[in-house]
């Protein structure tokens, strides 16, 4: 019972008063920055890093980790309530979460997001404790061909994101890919579509597009409606999920956790991919996919679990191999080094208090977040009763502050406004923005990995089918395509035989 002993030891470390306090400060701060779009855990941790020099390494890391996963919780709150994605990963939650809020079901949406996240966090913590090192070693098997094939599969599966018109959805995916091309070419550094503007040489920020098309676009649309038809009704049916809600959410939470853990372990996948994938899976598996986009609770439960599992599992390569899977993890490594700890596989044996203390604190932190968030639901939901004429300027102001804080760049605020106008037009013309964002997320990563794979294979495209893992993803992609095309083919054949 090594694991049991180790976890018990970890809880002993995490339950010291000092560590509990730092954990609480971390998750609280994380929740707050999660609510605000733009300012994310990366910037917050970078700014707080010097403050942690004087507390011990265990407490420092517990607090920084708390900020990180706290932000994942907070990000969903504004997504559900006001269609404002507080964090990158919360974009998917906007789709159905906000629709639930419009139907007076903000309470259940928030509750299921918290419950799903907690479950995923628990599983993530266990995965780190049980299988950390082998999982991390496995992730190293992924090189550029594997990443490309995996993302190709994701992009093909994106067709299920389509709501209504398939052609319009594909057009949005392609537009997303094109927007993703803006910025420096990865292999040569030459700026593309930057029109000589220095601000565009690093590309367009994801949060700029997300806040523009979701939050701002939504506000403009709402203001165009007659006052009495604006969504913020007083009819808030229930605060907590019904038995039916829980039943519907059970499998999505389990599947979302699995999907999130998978992507979390892989260092080369950014945020949002896990939640997008989970959403696509749930929509594909649903008995009635048409409910999605209209307030399906599965569309909140799955992606929210996926994104928390992803966030939690990003710790695996960091803690077990000393490899950063994301910018936040690179900062945590920096924090460890500053504390005089050499990150790497030896941390587990040489600094068991740090490793097991952190693992235990993650679970405690997740518990704190649930305890913090469930009672807050009532408060949040009451926020919806604020008259819209007061609420919408507040959302706009918070969006602007958040966007500005990313790079202290006024340019990005103008860009958000421009995407707000586009978002409004898209809503009016019946184009859903989710496929655009997926294309925007996947496009640059696919391109990067495709070009890198071609570079390292000396231009031999066979590399995608000669490497077994990559081949597996290509085969899966073809299968998905067949499954999607089959019904259409069958319909046509039926039409002919008729």
* Number of residues binding to another protein, judged by CB under 8 A: 55
- Closer CB to another protein, 56 or 289, in the complex: 56
Task: By CB under 8 A, name the one of 3, 8, 21, 47 that touches another protein.
Answer: 47
50 binds another protein (CB under 8 A): yes
Measure the CA dihedral 18/21/27/32, to 10°: -130
- The three-state secondary structure class of 184 is strand
Task: By CB under 8 A, name the one of 404, 452, 469, 484 that touches another protein.
Answer: 452
187 binds another protein (CB under 8 A): yes
Kindly state the DSSP code that residue 52 receives in the 8-state scheme. Answer: G
For 218-232, give the secondary structure using H, E and C: HHHHHHHCCHHHCCC
CA-wise closest residue to 399 among 30, 32, 35, 28: 35
How far apart are the C-alpha atoms of 448 and 335, rounded to whole Å? 29
Per-residue x/- track, 429-448, another protein (CB under 8 A): -------------------x
Task: By CB under 8 A, name the one of 408, 468, 497, 498 that touches another protein.
Answer: 408
16 binds another protein (CB under 8 A): no
Task: By CB under 8 A, name the one of 329, 381, 442, 450 that touches another protein.
Answer: 329
DSSP labels for 238-263? -SS--HHHHHHHHHHHHHHHHHHHHH
268 binds another protein (CB under 8 A): yes
Query: ∠ at Cα 350 (345, 351), nearest 5°?
Result: 95
Q: Segment contacting another protein (CB under 8 A): 15-23, 98-106, 340-348, 368-376? A: 340-348
Cβ 6 to another protein, closest distance in Å?
21
- Closer CB to another protein, 258 or 334, in the complex: 334
Cβ 339 to another protein, closest distance in Å?
9
Measured between its terminal Cα atoms, the distance across the chain in Å is 66
- Closer CB to another protein, 142 or 292, in the complex: 142
Task: By CB under 8 A, name the one of 3, 16, 130, 141 that touches another protein.
Answer: 141
189 binds another protein (CB under 8 A): yes
How far apart are the C-alpha atoms of 20 and 368, rounded to whole Å? 10
How far apart are the C-alpha atoms of 259 and 149, rounded to whole Å? 17
Task: By CB under 8 A, name the one of 338, 348, 374, 421 that touches another protein.
Answer: 338
How far apart are the C-alpha atoms of 222 and 80, rounded to whole Å? 16
- The three-state secondary structure class of 162 is coil
- Closer CB to another protein, 231 or 404, in the complex: 404
How far apart are the C-alpha atoms of 292 and 140, rounded to whole Å? 36
289 binds another protein (CB under 8 A): no
Q: Segment contacting another protein (CB under 8 A): 73-81, 232-240, 385-393, 453-461? A: 453-461
Contacts of 77 (CB under 8 A, 6+ apart): 31, 34, 35, 86, 110, 113, 373, 380
Cβ 137 to another protein, closest distance in Å?
10
Cβ 439 to another protein, closest distance in Å?
19
350 binds another protein (CB under 8 A): no
DSSP labels for 58-92? HHHHHHHHHHHHHHHHHHHHHHHHHS--SSGGGHH
How far apart are the C-alpha atoms of 15 and 417, rounded to whole Å? 47
Residue holding tokens 């924090």?
335
- Closer CB to another protein, 42 or 71, in the complex: 42
Task: By CB under 8 A, name the one of 49, 174, 418, 476 that touches another protein.
Answer: 49
322 binds another protein (CB under 8 A): yes
Q: Segment contacting another protein (CB under 8 A): 65-73, 196-204, 240-248, 304-312? A: 196-204
Contacts of 356 (CB under 8 A, 6+ apart): 6, 7, 9, 10, 13, 129
Q: Segment contacting another protein (CB under 8 A): 37-45, 256-264, 276-284, 423-431? A: 37-45
CA-wise closest residue to 451 among 269, 232, 181: 181
- Closer CB to another protein, 143 or 472, in the complex: 143
349 binds another protein (CB under 8 A): no
Both tokens assigned to 244? 């039916």
Residues interacting with another protein, by CB under 8 A? Answer: 42-43, 45-47, 49-50, 140-141, 143-144, 184-190, 196, 198-199, 201-202, 267-268, 317, 321-327, 329-331, 333-334, 337-338, 340, 342-346, 406-409, 448, 452, 455-456, 458
């Amino acid at each position: 019972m090594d694991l049991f002993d180790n976890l018990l030891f970890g809880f002993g470390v995490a339950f010291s008063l000092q560590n509990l306090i730092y954990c609480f400060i971390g998750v609280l701060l994380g929740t707050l920055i999660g609510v605000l779009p733009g300012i994310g855990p990366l910037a917050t941790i970078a700014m707080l890093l010097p403050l942690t020099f004087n507390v011990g390494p265990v407490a420092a890391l517990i607090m920084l980790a708390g900020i990180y996963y706290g932000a994942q919780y907070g990000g969903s709150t504004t997504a559900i309530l006001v269609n404002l994605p507080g964090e990158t990963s919360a974009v998917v939650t906007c789709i159905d979460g906000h629709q639930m809020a419009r139907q007076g079901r903000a309470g259940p949406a928030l509750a299921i997001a918290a419950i799903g996240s907690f479950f995923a966090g628990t599983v993530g913590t266990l995965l780190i404790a049980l299988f950390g090192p082998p999982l991390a070693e496995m992730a190293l098997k992924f090189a550029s061909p594997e990443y490309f094939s995996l993302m190709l599969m994701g992009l093909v599966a994106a067709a299920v994101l389509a709501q209504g018109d398939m052609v319009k959805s594909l057009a949005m995916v392609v537009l997303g890919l094109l927007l993703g091309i803006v910025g420096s070419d990865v292999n040569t550094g030459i700026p593309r579509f930057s029109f000589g503007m220095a601000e565009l040489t690093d590309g367009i920020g994801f949060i700029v597009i997300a806040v523009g098309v979701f939050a701002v676009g939504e506000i403009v649309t709402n203001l165009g409606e007659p006052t009495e038809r604006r969504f913020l009704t007083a009819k808030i049916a229930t605060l907590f999920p019904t038995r039916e809600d829980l039943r519907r959410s059970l499998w999505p939470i389990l599947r979302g956790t699995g999907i999130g853990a998978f992507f979390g372990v892989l260092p080369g996948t950014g945020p949002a991919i896990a939640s997008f994938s989970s959403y696509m899976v749930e929509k594909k598996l649903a008995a009635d996919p048409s409910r999605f986009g209209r307030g399906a609770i599965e569309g909140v439960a799955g992606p929210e679990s996926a994104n928390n599992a992803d966030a939690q599992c990003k710790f695996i390569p960091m803690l077990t191999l000393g490899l950063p899977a994301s910018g936040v993890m690179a900062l945590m490594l920096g924090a460890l080094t500053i504390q005089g700890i050499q990150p790497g596989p030896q941390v587990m044996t040489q600094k068991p208090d740090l490793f097991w203390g952190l693992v235990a604190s993650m679970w405690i932190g997740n518990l704190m977040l649930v305890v913090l968030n469930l009672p807050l639901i009532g408060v949040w939901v009451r926020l919806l009763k604020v008259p819209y004429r007061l609420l919408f300027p507040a959302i706009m102001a918070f969006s602007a502050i958040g966007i500005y804080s990313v790079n202290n760049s006024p340019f990005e605020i103008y860009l958000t406004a421009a995407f707000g106008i586009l978002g409004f037009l898209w809503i009016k013309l019946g184009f859903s923005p989710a496929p655009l964002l997926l294309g925007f997320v996947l496009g640059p990563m696919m391109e990067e990995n495709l070009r890198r794979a071609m570079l390292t294979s000396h231009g031999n495209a066979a590399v995608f089918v000669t490497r077994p893992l990559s081949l597996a993803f290509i085969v899966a992609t073809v299968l998905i395509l067949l499954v999607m095309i089959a019904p259409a083919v069958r319909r046509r054949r039926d039409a002919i035989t008729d």
